[in-house]
Structure formats: structure tokens, C-alpha cells
Amino acid sequence: EIIELQNAMVTWYQENQRDLPWRKLSKHQDINKRAYSVWVSEIMLQQTQVATVINYYNKWIKKWPTLQDLAKASLEEVNEMWSGLGYYSRGRRLHEGAQKVVNELKSEMPRNAESLMKKLPGVGRYTAGAISSIAYNEQTGLVDGNVIRVLSRLRIIGTDSTSQTAIDTFWNHANKLVPADRPGDFNQSMMELGATICTPKSPSCSTCPVQSFCKA
């Protein structure tokens, strides 16, 4: 059942994914550029709608296309670029993280989720999972609000999703489901499904690629 669900999700994602700028860069041949692009997008997407982030992301990458470029920027420039996105500490941590990678890690991004969490400021379990699975193809799951909703419905988990027991349960499910090949595409398919089909209200169950697996 897991293999069938994985295949259904990845196939659906290939055919239906939204055309988002960071997805193009996440396939870049330079592994550090891939990781940087995912990192910037995921930090911007915290607390902010995709439609809003696209413009900010494009401007950011145009001004600072690499980690090294961002590391050279002043905090004032970063705050100015971030203006309007809110939660300015996100931009400051990105800037601080870029400087740390350049100055302390020889411009090489940490290569797995565990190291990303340990070494980069503002990178928690979800962001580390996103960077490592999408940019490095590490077999690690991730859990955000969209994934929680999808998993809750797939397995009718009715509980307070903020409790530690629930969080552990969702992460266990996510890590069990993610395939060894194409983990990044699978993780993005789960987030994409929650954002576009398995929405909070009026989900489009009739067009869901994993309807047959869904207990809800």
C-alpha cells in the first residue's frame, strides 16, 4: 500500500505541480545553489502565502543569487529587501546563516537534515527536512500544516495536532512514507496536495490521487 501511495503521489505531482521559481533552482547542478534556493523559499514561506512569496523570492535571488552574495550584504539591505514580509527575524537568521556557511563552513552547506538543524540558525526540523530531501535527496520526511492535514485524513487521526504525541505520530508517518528514490518530489507532493486538493475547507476529494487510500 505504501509503494502504491508513493507512486500515485509522485506521478500526480509530476503532472500537476505549480510552476514556482524555487522549484526550478532546486534542480540546479550546483548542490549549494540547490540547497540555498530551497532554504530561502522555505524561510519565506513560513507564515506567508505562496502568492506573496513569489515576488519577494525572485527579487531576493536576483540580488543575491548565491550564499556568498548574501553573506556580503549588510543587515540593512536584508531588512529592506524583507520589508513587507513581516517576522523580520526570519531574514536576519538567513543572513546570519549565510555568513556562518561562508566564514565557518568554507561555503559548503551542511549535507543532511541533522547537520542543517545543528549548524544553521533558524533551521528547525521541517526546514532541515525540506532542504535535505529536495536538494540532497536524503530520505527524510517532513511535516507542516498541509502534511498534517493530509495524514490526518488519510488515517483519520482526530486529535490536537499540536500535542507532542500527535507531532511524533505525524513525523513517524512522514518518515515511513517517504521513498528512498525521489524523496524531495514525494515530500513536495504531500505539501502540494494539502495546498491545492486536500484543503482545510471543501477538499476536492473527487480529484485526489490517493482517495482510494484515504480512510476519511
Active-site residues, by number, are: 42
Closest CA to 107 of 136, 75, 76, 70: 70
| Residue 131 Cα distances to 47, 121, 177, 181, angstroms | 18, 14, 18, 16
Contact call for residues 32 and 109 (beta carbons, < 8 A): yes
Residue 7 has phi, psi (to 5 degrees) of -65, -40
Contact call for residues 39 and 98 (beta carbons, < 8 A): no
- What is the C-alpha separation between 1 and 70, in angstroms, rounded? 44
Contact call for residues 102 and 138 (beta carbons, < 8 A): no
Element (H, E) at 132: helix 125-136
Reduce the DSSP state of residue 206 to 3 states and report it. helix
- What is the C-alpha separation between 85 and 62, in angstroms, rounded? 17
